[in-house]
Structure 1
Amino acid sequence: MSNRSLAPARRCSARTDVGRVREVNEDAILSMPRPGVWVVSDGMGGHDAGDFASRAVVEALGALSPELAPAELMRAAREAVQAAHRRIGAEAERRGGAVIGATVVILVIAEAHFLCLWAGDSRLYRLREGRLEMLSLDHSVVGELVERGELSWAEAERHPQSNQITRAVGVGARLEIDKRRGEALPGDRFLLCSDGLTRHVDEAALAAALREAPVEAAADLLVERALEGGGADNVSVIVVEA
């Protein structure tokens, strides 16, 4: 038996919901405390196209072996997203060149380190010692405006181009996947989410929920907050404690 299989499972909670307005849930999530991989993917393309794309992403990542060593796991996660990119692109061609794609944000925790991989505007946050920090950076029109200092995130949520992403799995010949890595300290709480959460719940409320709720109840609590705020989009939430 490998050492990898003996790694303790992380405390976590996960939930996805269609919301109060949409008829189809184009989000998909994956929670694998062993080997330590969590994924939120938000599909685009309408109806079965969007949910096909997000499912393709989580299916590729869900096939990762729990026996992989940390370095192998991180490399395999990136390769899985690229495989999903090719699969979605082929399906788009089969459908006559329709635009089909999905955002993805991935958290990998191995030993005392984390890796975040992402494309699009699904996000990863970290709560450390009571302070919330967004670790990913939106690949979107408004995300670029925020990065240049022309908008705050609060202003970006209300911007007319707030839902226009600039990068997605399955769109374009080549997919660039951004990454961030760092230490995962005891007590750190990580939040992965689709934009259906942040559209209705601001960062102060996110931080309060992550500070106060047990990890096992945090995803349900945050989804309910989004639904209470209007639930205008599908909403997906995963909370993980290091």
Structure 2
Amino acid sequence: MTENSIVQSPGRKPNLIGVIVKWRVITHQGLMRSQNEDAHWVGHSIEVKTETESASRYIFAVADGLGGHRGGAIASRTALKSVKAEFYKWHGGAADGMIGQAMQKANQKVFCVAQSDPELFRKMQTTLTVVALDQDSLTVGHIGDCRLYRLRDDCIKILTRDHTMSNDLLQMHLISAEQASTHPGRHQLTRSIGSELFMNADIIREKVRPEDTYLLCSDGLWSELTEEEILNAMQQNDVSSACEKLVRVALSAGAPDNITAIAFHIETVGNCTAPAFSWRTFFRMS
């Protein structure tokens, strides 16, 4: 048995343990940036457990880099290298540990690169949000102001919390939600990857359900859209249409910043009989 195909034994069909997901990624440098400092990665693994059972796992990650010169792009891509390395060593379970390790290593590497040449990489840092799917569980590691939205039963919810000055003031009840939406510190990060040697990430866990749709995006997307516009786009018939509409509306609004959007839809949760064709037909490439 290989990752690309399933060989069926006579009278027996392999069972897939986990989730079947459809997804789409779109990234754009925006209308006022000379380069794209956002970075993204989607990983999918099939691990053979027994002759008739395989486990399916996914990981989705977005990093939004910032810093002088080319530092932002280096920061975001350096962070994702750590995510990839930890995902490839992961054999399921304890997703929070895998994500926490990936984010700590990402932080140390970005910090060390910034210290290696302070003049070139001054203030180099990045946001990082990582989403892992294993069986029926979704685990999120989050630092910065990328966001994870969930659409369930036609209701939209933001699962992450922005680590920004305005949102911190809002959490302390020092400003109102209306004031936070226009506050000058709306995009001023209070937590990030690479700003200090040690960092504290949020870890979020929840159970997924069939027909859930999620949106993982950088602030270049969500800051240009209302919650109603995001809801309307995510209610499209498929994730490709949803992702395209989100980016199209953001660009129409001006989109001065880099944009990255990953939309993914939960098709099936739990055990299911796997058909005799490529696993790769279960998901879409960007």
Matched residue, 1:14: 25
Q: Deviations over 1:30-85 (max 9, x none)?
A: 11243310011100103310000000111211234457333254422221221111
Structure 1 vs Structure 2 CA RMSD = 2.2
Alignment of 1:1-242 (within 5 A): 7=18, 9-34=20-45, 35-65=57-87, 68-96=90-118, 98-149=122-173, 150-152=175-177, 155-242=179-266
Contact 1:114 1:184 in 2 (8 A): yes
Range 102-111 or range 73-82, more displaced: 73-82
Contact 2:63 2:76 in 1 (8 A): yes
SS of the aligned residue for 2:235 comes to helix
**TM-score scaled by structure 2?**
0.78
User: What residue ranges of structure 1 are gaps of 5+ in the alignment?
Assistant: none
Q: Distance in 1 between matches of 2:89 and 2:74?
A: 28
Q: Deviations over 1:151-194 (max 9, x none)?
A: 22x64332211110100011112110111101111111111111
Moved over 4 A (4+): 1-9
Q: Distance in 2 between matches of 1:33 and 1:191?
A: 17
Q: Distance in 1 between matches of 2:209 and 2:153?
A: 10
Larger Rg: 2
SS of the aligned residue for 1:216 comes to helix
Letter in 1 for 2:176: L
Q: Distance in 2 between matches of 1:26 and 1:177?
A: 21
How many residue pairs are counted as aligned between the two chains? 241
Q: Deviations over 1:182-229 (max 9, x none)?
A: 111111111111110111111111011111241123222211111111
Q: Distance in 2 between matches of 1:5 and 1:88?
A: 37
Matched residue, 2:51: none
Q: Distance in 2 between matches of 1:210 and 1:40?
A: 18
Letter in 2 for 1:42: D
SS of the aligned residue for 2:194 comes to coil
Q: Distance in 1 between matches of 2:221 and 2:138?
A: 23
Q: Distance in 2 between matches of 1:163 and 1:197?
A: 13
- Judged with a 3 Å threshold, the aligned counterparts in structure 2 of structure 1 residues 141 and 213 are, in CA distance, closer, same or farther, namely farther
- Judged with a 3 Å threshold, the aligned counterparts in structure 2 of structure 1 residues 221 and 181 are, in CA distance, closer, same or farther, namely same
Range 93-102 or range 169-178, more displaced: 93-102
- Judged with a 3 Å threshold, the aligned counterparts in structure 2 of structure 1 residues 73 and 179 are, in CA distance, closer, same or farther, namely closer
Letter in 2 for 1:20: L
- Judged with a 3 Å threshold, the aligned counterparts in structure 2 of structure 1 residues 66 and 73 are, in CA distance, closer, same or farther, namely farther
Letter in 2 for 1:57: A
Tell me the CA shift for residue 113 of structure 1.
1.1
Q: Distance in 2 between matches of 1:64 and 1:173?
A: 19
Letter in 2 for 1:62: K
Question: Which protein is richer in helix relative to its size?
Answer: 1
